[in-house]
């Protein structure tokens, strides 16, 4: 398996070079800058281009680009490409369940969003009917999330059909689904024109490593303009440590499918064993386990604390659920450790809390207008009737509760309180 970036870095460091170049830290041999032979991420014609072409062949894309800024940079680039491909339009239809990077990109690109409602606050599931209702003749593109934090999945194929009928590009935030390269259900194979994959979430890659894929049937202008659009947002000093890990991630995808399948089987087995000892699990995708802590007699926060006492650290917890997220290269022994810890935690009488329902609020101004307005910070208890002036998205899951420009209601204030948010920024009253 050819790994051009890793091979270059290995050869370079083996020469014990005098590092008379950036970066200032001289202790990590692979941490370099764009020296001779190292190529350049946004103008690549050497080892980076070779590595990206390998990634493209593995994912079956028209073109694949590396991101050292996670899926955030990939999402920014996808929206910029959509706008560059149809500059006379400035509206998008997007799932209400979205990462804050979508909102930030729309602010920067001055895009107006027509929101597609989903099942609930933290669900990415949207119906084709709701997608159709959100699309108009002014719609630039449709943007949806592939997998949500609980492991729920959007029907990308059904959404794709709506987009094809309207001749509108489909953009997919597949940050949590890069592992789907091992399956038949990657967004590219389901009709996505652009897909942002966070390699670092479910594949063996350093934090910040992500892929931006352009589908084979996507407009050719996307491929020709992709590097230029990515350079609008990305650093001119990308991390070669991340690029190296993406290069090696390609080798994992090409040569270790069996290991990935074994990991999926172990996750499935752990789900079955947890159910046997009394845990109630929410239906989730292949790489995660979502435990209903309330059915086990505690809050998600309490169950997370119990697991952490036993050195099990989970991806996410809220009042109802604890979510464990795994990699296709997860050490096999981790699963027996999780099961042993889970057995030690006594089950109690189930508890119940009310689901958080957050209706889409009325908008008083655009995202961009709100973010660049003069704002003031107030208590959420005093926010009803005021206009949101910032992106409120606790991380994880980094999903906005209310969008800039929208009007607060008492129900939204209560929801924010339940999520631990006490202060918010609102547009200053004139």
Give the model confidence (pLDDT) of 76-96 as tens digits: 999 999 999 999 999 999 999
| Dihedral angle over CA of 58, 62, 67, 72, nearest 10 | -110
Q: How sure is the predictor about 121, in pLDDT bands with cuts at 50, 70 and 90?
A: confident
3-state secondary structure 367-421: HHHHHCCCEEEEEHHHCCCCEECCCCCCCCCCCCCCCCCEECCHHHHHHHHHCCC
Domain 4-255: top CATH class: alpha beta
Mean pLDDT value across the chain: 96
**What is the rounded CA–CA span in Å between residue 122 and residue 357?**
10
CATH 3.90.1150.150 fits 257-344, yes or no: yes
**What is the rounded CA–CA span in Å between residue 423 and residue 413?**
10
Per-residue pLDDT, 2: 95
**What is the rounded CA–CA span in Å between residue 27 and residue 366?**
47
**What is the rounded CA–CA span in Å between residue 69 and residue 267?**
29
Same fold, 257-344 and 367-427: no
Give the model confidence (pLDDT) of 370-419 as tens digits: 999 999 999 998 999 999 999 878 778 999 989 999 999 988 888 888 77
- Domain positions in the chain: 4-255, 257-344, 367-427
Inform me whether the pLDDT recorded for 75 exceeds 70.
yes
Contact (Cβ atoms closer than 8 angstroms) between residue 281 and residue 287: no
At a CB cut-off of 8 Å and minimum separation 6, what does 402 contact?
A: 358, 361, 388, 392, 408, 412, 416
Per-residue pLDDT, 117: 94
Unique residue bearing structure tokens 């948010």? 421
Per-residue pLDDT, 420: 81
Per-residue pLDDT, 419: 77
What are the Cα distances from residue 83, in Å, to 78, 286, 334? Answer: 9, 34, 44
Neighbours of 156 (CB within 10 A): 24
Inform me whether the pLDDT recorded for 358 exceeds 90.
no
Per-residue pLDDT, 356: 67
3-state secondary structure at position 84 = helix
Inform me whether the pLDDT recorded for 357 exceeds 80.
no
At a CB cut-off of 8 Å and minimum separation 6, what does 413 contact?
A: 380, 381, 383, 384
CATH 3.90.100.10 fits 367-427, yes or no: yes
Higher-confidence residue: 359 or 423? Answer: 423
Give the model confidence (pLDDT) of 279-293 as tens digits: 999 999 999 999 999
């Amino acid at each position: 398996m050819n790994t051009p970036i890793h091979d270059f870095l290995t050869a370079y460091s083996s020469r014990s070079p005098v590092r008379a170049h950036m970066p200032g830290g001289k202790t990590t041999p692979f941490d370099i800058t764009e020296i001779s032979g190292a190529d350049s991420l946004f103008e690549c014609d050497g080892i980076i281009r070779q590595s990206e072409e390998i990634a493209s062949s593995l994912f079956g894309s028209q073109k694949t680009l590396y991101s050292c800024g996670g899926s955030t940079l990939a999402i920014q680039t996808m929206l910029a490409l959509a706008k560059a491909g149809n500059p006379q339009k400035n509206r998008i239809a997007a799932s209400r369940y979205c990462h804050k990077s979508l909102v930030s990109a729309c602010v920067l690109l001055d895009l107006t969003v027509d929101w597609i409602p989903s099942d609930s606050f933290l669900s990415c599931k949207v119906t084709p009917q709701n997608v159709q209702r959100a699309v108009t003749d002014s719609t630039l593109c449709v943007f949806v999330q592939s997998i949500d934090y609980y492991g729920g999945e959007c029907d990308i194929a059904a959404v794709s059909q709506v987009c094809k009928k309207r001749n509108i590009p489909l953009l997919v935030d597949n940050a949590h689904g890069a592992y789907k390269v091992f399956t038949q259900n990657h967004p590219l194979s389901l009709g996505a024109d652009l897909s942002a994959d966070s390699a670092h979430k479910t594949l063996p890659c350093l934090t910040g490593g992500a892929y931006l894929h352009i589908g084979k049937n996507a407009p050719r202008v996307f491929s020709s303009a992709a590097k230029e659009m990515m350079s609008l947002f990305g650093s001119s000093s990308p991390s070669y440590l991340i690029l190296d890990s993406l290069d090696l991630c390609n080798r994992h995808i090409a040569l270790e499918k069996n290991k990935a399948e074994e990991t999926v089987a172990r996750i499935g087995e752990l789900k079955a064993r947890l159910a046997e000892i009394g845990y109630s699990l929410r239906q989730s995708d292949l790489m995660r386990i979502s435990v209903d802590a309330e059915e086990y007699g505690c809050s998600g926060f309490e169950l997370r604390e119990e697991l952490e006492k036993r050195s099990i650290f989970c991806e996410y917890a809220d009042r109802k659920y604890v979510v464990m997220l795994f990699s296709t290269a997860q050490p096999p022994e981790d699963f027996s450790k999780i099961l042993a810890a889970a057995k030690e935690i006594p089950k109690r009488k189930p508890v119940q809390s009310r689901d958080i329902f957050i209706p889409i609020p009325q908008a008083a101004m655009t995202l961009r207008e709100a973010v660049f307005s003069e704002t003031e910070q107030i208590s959420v208890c005093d926010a009803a009737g005021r206009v949101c002036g910032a992106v409120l998205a606790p991380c994880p899951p980094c999903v906005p509760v209310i969008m800039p420009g929208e009007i607060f209601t008492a129900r939204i204030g209560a929801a924010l309180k339940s999520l631990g948010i006490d202060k918010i920024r609102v547009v200053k009253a004139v």
